Amino acid sequence: MQKLRTVTLTLIIGFSVISMLLAGCSSNNCPLESTVLCNFHFYDSEGTAISYGDTITVTTLLPGYKTVYIYRKFGMPTLTLDHPDQQLTESGYTMSQMETRKDSVLVNKLAGQSSMQVPLSYFNATDTLIVNYASISRNDTIYIGHNGYPYVDLPECGTHVFHKLSSISSTDAAIDHIEINKPDVNYEGNENIRIFFNGTAQ
């Protein structure tokens, strides 16, 4: 009887351990990083990988316009806000408003890096990225054609949108040329796009 009780207890413990392991395996199959990002890597004009020396900010154009509020006061810097501020008006600022594009910052003041990551639109077939440089007044515009499609690995991981890049082009303020390296934008961390900047690495 004692032996039967020991065997039964061993089986119960064994099943519990197996259940926990299976549950752990199931949850661990979901990717740790669930945000799908397009990976850009930087090169000089001859194809040498570089850390780009300038500070860059990347914005994207969203459909439609928004109202911004501009506050001015003699001897003080001009302030541009997305909402009215009564305290500024009470402190002597004059307020005006204007319609502007709905730009969204994707990369803010990236400096001395060899790559960057940018999310792609779920709904647009072409994304427009504006690359601003700290050291030059002109900016570059990058046009990315892509097809988005839903991807489900496991039901518990949810649905995400992967992309297949179809075309790429840019202006030439600081960019010599640009090309698609690996078109599949997913969790794999592929080097999707290569940006070749003007000049060569010393």
Q: pLDDT tens across 85-107, in order?
A: 999 999 999 999 988 767 788 99
Helix (H, G, I), strand (E, B) or coil at 130: strand
Binned at pLDDT 50, 70 and 90, residue 22 comes out as: very low
The mean pLDDT value for 14-20 works out to 44
Q: How far apart are CA 176 and CA 75, in angstroms?
A: 41
C-alpha distances out from residue 62 to 38, 57, 101, 127, Å:
18, 16, 7, 9
Q: How confident is the model at residue 28 (pLDDT cuts 50, 70, 90)?
A: low
Residues in CB range of 200: below 8 A, 6 or more apart = 44, 45, 46, 48
For 23, list phi and psi in degrees, rounded to 5.
-65, -40
The predicted pLDDT at position 33 comes to: 61
Of 12-21, 35-44, 73-82, 151-160, the range with the highest mean pLDDT is 35-44
Give the lowest-confidence range in 20-24, 42-46, 58-62, 66-70: 20-24
Cα gap 42→145, rounded to integer Å: 20
Residue type, 151: Y
Domain limits, the chain: 1-30, 33-64+104-197
Average pLDDT (78-85) is 89
Q: What letter would DSSP give residue 187? A: T
What is the distance between the alpha carbons of residues 76 and 18, in angstroms, rounded to a whole number?
68
The secondary structure of 21-86 as a DSSP string is: HHHHHHHHTS-S-----EEEEEE-TTS-B--EEEEEEEEEEEEEEEEEEEEE-TTS--EEESS--H
What confidence score (pLDDT) does residue 192 get?
98
Confidence category of residue 130, pLDDT binned at 50, 70, 90: very high
User: Which percentage of the chain shows pLDDT scores above 70?
Assistant: 81
> What's the full length of the chain, in residues?
202
Q: Is the pTM of this model over 0.85?
A: no
pLDDT exceeds cutoff 60 at 181: yes
CA distance 101 to 64: 7
Q: What is the pLDDT of residue 29?
A: 67
Give me 77's structure tokens.
Answer: 């810097």
